[in-house]
């Protein structure tokens, strides 16, 4: 980039667009230029707040920006991304990348052809809990993720898989680091035409298995993940930003001692509290805003194309491919 600051803009003045606008305004490497929305009055409110311009048509900002975040309904992602990429403007697109695999692939291929940075707003990958898991560098054998909440009264253009489960699909794919072998899933629609509840079991080529549940009809909000590996067991809570890790190495002697005592008939199970025997640690989790980390990573990739954004368009495509496989399985096992 010629300038020390990257000229940025946000497309969409809804809830997510407003959040992106705030962070772009705050980042020192960002020169927040504009916010665009079909409803110009909707765009003008944050524009006044952050002292930038408001437009009703995204073509009005072509030539004025270097990078843009697209925070509009999923069905609009492909066409909007195409406009910017064809004009060599880096894009970060709110999850999911696009409405279907074909459109996702189109974005990936066009960005590659134009050598243009394309990122996806899977902000949960930037959640301090996920960042902490990444630092442990483990090889999962079994992953269990749960993401449930009361009905949100938003994002009803997509079912719970593309609205909510897509976060965990992306995280699971990054942790498993393997191709999906097969998927088994079941889903139920109660309020909307699309599924409101879904459970999927994902089998990977490297032997890892993931069980993931999503619901938008729960009575409480819960966002948790458990990871089992040879190196450690992790129990994490995204919502509370907390986690526990039990590493295998410090517990080897305990396990061996229990085996010896059991063989010698000297082990009284009734007198032993299993957690007291284990070496348990509270995971060190930074309290950093995921959206800020996501945008910082994106802008670093825009400034230096040897770097990658936290979640690339290719990874967004992989998440969508897995999601569509889950939806196909849901359809196959549809309840009467």
pLDDT tier at 255, thresholds 50, 70, 90: low
Instruction: Choose the weakest-confidence range: 90-99, 242-251, 271-280.
Output: 271-280
Q: Say what the pLDDT of residue 251 is.
A: 60
Those residues with Cβ within 8 angstroms of residue 46's Cβ, 6 or more apart along the chain or in another chain: 13, 17, 18, 21, 22, 35
- The reported pLDDT for the residue numbered 247 is 78
Tens-digit pLDDT profile for residues 236-252: 998 888 889 887 666 66
How many beta carbons lie within 10 A of that of residue 219, not counting itself? Answer: 8
pLDDT tens digits, residue range 22-76?
A: 999 999 999 999 999 999 999 999 999 999 999 999 999 999 999 999 999 999 9
pLDDT-derived band of residue 129, with 50, 70 and 90 as boundaries?
A: confident
Average pLDDT taken over every residue of the chain: 90
Burial per residue of 150-166, b for 16 or more beta-carbon CB atoms within 10 angstroms, e otherwise: eeeeeeeebbbbbbbbb
The rounded distance, in Å, linking the Cα atoms of 242 and 261 is 35
**What single string gives the DSSP state of each residue in 14-52?**
SHHHHHHHHHHHH-TTEEEEEEE-SSHHHHHHHHHHHT-
SS3 letters across 212-240: EEEECCCCCCEEEEEEEECCEEEEEECCC
Q: Is the pLDDT higher at 316 or at 247?
A: 316
**Per-residue confidence at 333, pLDDT binned at 50, 70, 90?**
confident
pLDDT, tens digit, for every residue of 177-209?
999 999 999 999 888 788 999 999 999 999 999
Domains along the chain with CATH numbers: 6-122+290-308 (3.40.50.720), 126-289+321-332 (3.30.360.10)
pLDDT top residue among 12 and 271 = 12
Beta strands in the chain (DSSP E): 6-11, 30-36, 53-55, 67-70, 90-94, 118-121, 140-148, 180-188, 197-204, 209-215, 222-229, 232-237, 242-247, 280-282
Residue 2 confidence (pLDDT):
46
Task: Write down the pLDDT at residue 84.
Answer: 98
- Tell me, what's the pLDDT at 288? 85
């Amino acid at each position: 980039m010629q300038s020390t600051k990257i000229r940025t803009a946000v497309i969409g003045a809804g809830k997510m667009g407003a959040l992106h606008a705030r962070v772009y305004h705050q980042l020192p490497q960002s020169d927040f230029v504009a916010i665009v929305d079909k409803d110009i009055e909707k765009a003008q409110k944050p524009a006044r707040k952050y002292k930038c311009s408001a437009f009703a048509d995204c073509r009005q900002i072509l030539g004025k920006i270097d990078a843009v975040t697209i925070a509009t309904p999923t069905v609009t992602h492909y066409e909007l991304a195409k406009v910017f990429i064809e004009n060599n403007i880096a894009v970060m697109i709110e999850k999911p990348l696009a409405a279907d695999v074909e459109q996702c692939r189109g974005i990936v291929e066009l960005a590659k052809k134009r050598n243009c940075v394309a990122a996806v707003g899977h902000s949960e990958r930037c959640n301090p809990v996920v960042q902490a898991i990444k630092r442990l560098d483990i090889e999962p054998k079994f992953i269990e993720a749960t993401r449930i909440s009361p009905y949100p009264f938003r994002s009803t253009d997509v079912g719970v898989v593309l609205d909510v489960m897509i976060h965990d699909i992306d995280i699971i794919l990054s942790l498993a680091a393997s191709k999906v072998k097969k998927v088994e899933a079941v889903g139920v629609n109660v309020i909307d035409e699309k599924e409101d509840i879904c459970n999927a079991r994902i089998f990977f080529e490297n032997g890892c298995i993931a069980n993931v549940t999503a619901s938008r009809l729960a009575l409480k909000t819960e966002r948790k993940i458990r990871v089992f590996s040879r190196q450690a067991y992790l129990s994490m809570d995204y919502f509370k930003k907390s986690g526990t890790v039990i590493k295998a190495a410090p517990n080897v002697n305990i396990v061996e001692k229990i085996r010896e005592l059991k063989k010698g008939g000297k082990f009284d199970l009734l007198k032993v509290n299993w957690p007291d025997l284990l070496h348990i640690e509270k995971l060190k989790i930074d309290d950093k805003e995921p959206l800020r980390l996501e945008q910082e990573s994106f802008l670093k990739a825009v400034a230096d194309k040897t770097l990658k954004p936290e979640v690339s368009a290719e990874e967004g495509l992989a998440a969508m491919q897995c999601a569509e496989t889950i939806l196909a399985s849901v359809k196959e096992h549809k309840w009467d």
